[in-house]
Structure 1
Amino acid sequence: MARTGLFSTIPEDHRDRLMALAKEVSFPAGARIFEEGTKADRFWVVDTGGVALDVHVPGRQAAVVETIGAGELLGWSWVCPPRQWHLGAGTTSPVHAWEFDAEAVLELCARDPVIDHALLTYVVGVIGHRLRSARTRLLDLYGPYGSGGQR
């Protein structure tokens, strides 16, 4: 746990404070964890399993834009208002994860600038990566020449 993803960015003594807020959860294969546009009041760090992130496409089936797995952050929309999911998420296999209540984590961040900086820096990186992934995937699916990799 400590050597990957979000947990590797937070110093150990501060990581313990964050983990005190964690709750272990499980989701079966094929479960919907959240829907695009609904309230984002928690996030997860995946321990095992896979989750597909998808975007609603009017008149079509939701388009999967990325699949995440062990050690990765699931959910960043809780960070800033209006705190609504920007994507949907469903499991591709059974998932075990650590779940965090967003309000409790934001309160911890207000009291602990080390966690605040590390967590928000990590989340901004995830947002950037997910934005690039979504753009590339949507261009592949719906653009006239795909993502532009080959013509």
Structure 2
Amino acid sequence: MIARAHPEPSPGLLAALSPEHRERLMRLAREAEYPGATRVFEEGGVADRFWIIRTGTVALDIHVPGRGPAVVETVGAGMLLGWSWLCPPRQWHLGAETRDPVTAWEFDAAAVGELCAAHPDLGLALVTLVAETIGHRLRATRTRLLDLYGPGETGPGP
């Protein structure tokens, strides 16, 4: 991974924030780059940061005992990667692996928490966006697991 400072905002999640909130948040961003097929984080690991994807895609997976990892969703440009930093015990609920080269803005969770404490209106806006992401990921995970492991069709009846 390569990290740089002074990124500029892009569409997606950041577009949902007011210009003032976006500017404050982006002051904490670092540019990050990951080659393809790179594990960004593992399910159960310490969640101390998050990313907003600029380019490329990242597959989110869940470990299924006896079967290995199952991809539940793929995230791309403008999307949030990692929400587990917000909620104790601050451990990743999913794993993440780049599908192709990825550029992203990386944020330190502790620094963002301090920013949100100092600016509660920004905190509320960010928590609302993260909550929307959590809901979407929960639905995507449920749907994918039902597709993979749910009951099959029983065929026509008698």
SS at match of 2:145: helix
Q: 1:10 is matched with which residue?
A: 17
Q: Does 1:43 align with 2:50?
A: yes
Aligned-residue CA RMSD (Å): 1.3
Identity of aligned pairs, percent?
A: 63
Match of 1:86 in 2: 93
**Structure 1 residues 15-24 or 5-14, which shifts more?**
5-14
Give yes or no for contact 2:51–2:104 (8 Å, CA) kept in 1: yes
| Contact 1:6/1:119, CA 8 A, preserved across alignment | no
Which of 106, 129, 150 is matched with 1:122 structurally? 129
| SS at structure 2 position matched to 1:53 | strand
Aligned match for 2:148, one of 116, 127, 141: 141
Report whether the alignment pairs 1:106 with 2:113: yes
| Structure 2: unaligned runs, 5 residues or longer | 1-7, 154-158
Of structures 1 and 2, the larger Rg is shown by 2
Q: Secondary structure at the match of 2:40?
A: strand
Runs of 4 or more above 4 Å deviation: none
Query: Which residue, out of 76, 80, 88, partners 1:73?
Result: 80
| TM-score between both structures, scaled by the size of structure 2 | 0.89
Count the aligned residue pairs.
146
Q: Hey, what does 2:40 align to over in structure 1? A: 33
TM-score with structure 1 setting the length: 0.93
Letter in 1 for 2:77: A
Matched residues in 1 for 2:13 and 2:116: separation? 14
Give the drift of 1:2.
5.0
Cα distance in 2 for partners of 1:69, 1:107 equals 27
The CA distance in 2 between the partners of 1:60 and 1:99, in whole Å, is: 31
Q: Is the 8 A contact 1:27 1:95 kept in 2?
A: yes
> What is the CA–CA distance in structure 2 between the aligned matches of 1:85 and 1:61, rounded to whole Å?
17
Instruction: Check the 8 A contact 1:9/1:119 in 2, yes or no.
Output: no
